[in-house]
Chain A
Amino acid sequence: DAGVIQSPRHEVTEMGQEVTLRCKPISGHDYLFWYRQTMMRGLELLIYFNNNVPIDDSGMPEDRFSAKMPNASFSTLKIQPSEPRDSAVYFCAIRRARNTGELFFGEGSRLTVL
């Protein structure tokens, strides 16, 4: 079964603090995506990787956001410094290959920045 484990599930932090969100795929994949979900803007693609290489980061809102994928089993999304408007649910998703279609989403990390 395809799957993604995200951590933490919930994080509350204060403005200015660094936030690191983690994603661990537990099945084979070629692509890994980071999405952000808010009531106002819905599901937005932030960045995606193909075979651990960042391909398109045009959705990353600002330089405060960065993402890495050091190996096929792990990816991080970092926000430094965090701001209240970064409050959202962040999803990691994987796809096995370009044309198979389905994205397998994790359960998300709910971030609240006070």
Chain B
Amino acid sequence: SYVLTQPPSVSVAPGKTARITCGGNNIGSKSVHWYQQKPGQAPVLVIYYDSDRPSGIPERFSGSNSGNTATLTISRVEAGDEADYYCQVWDSSSDNVVFGGGTKLTVL
């Protein structure tokens, strides 16, 4: 089955740039989507189709996808960005939705 690998944690100072990676075999050939989940809340879509932002998501959130790694980039990080972030793809070989294990973003 297809596996998505995320770092368990990423730390960044306010105002700096955070990069959260999502690794998978030839993930560049798939559409990657990203979710933000704050404690006690449901996940919220922040990036779809690798790099598109839903309405209401700040331009500080961006995404890229190439080769074996997709990346969620958060610029000018704020305290309110502290959350768990999950990547997600559709695995056509097994007709299965796959989520990464999640990355906890800590704002120092």
Asked if chains A and B come from one complex, the reply is: no
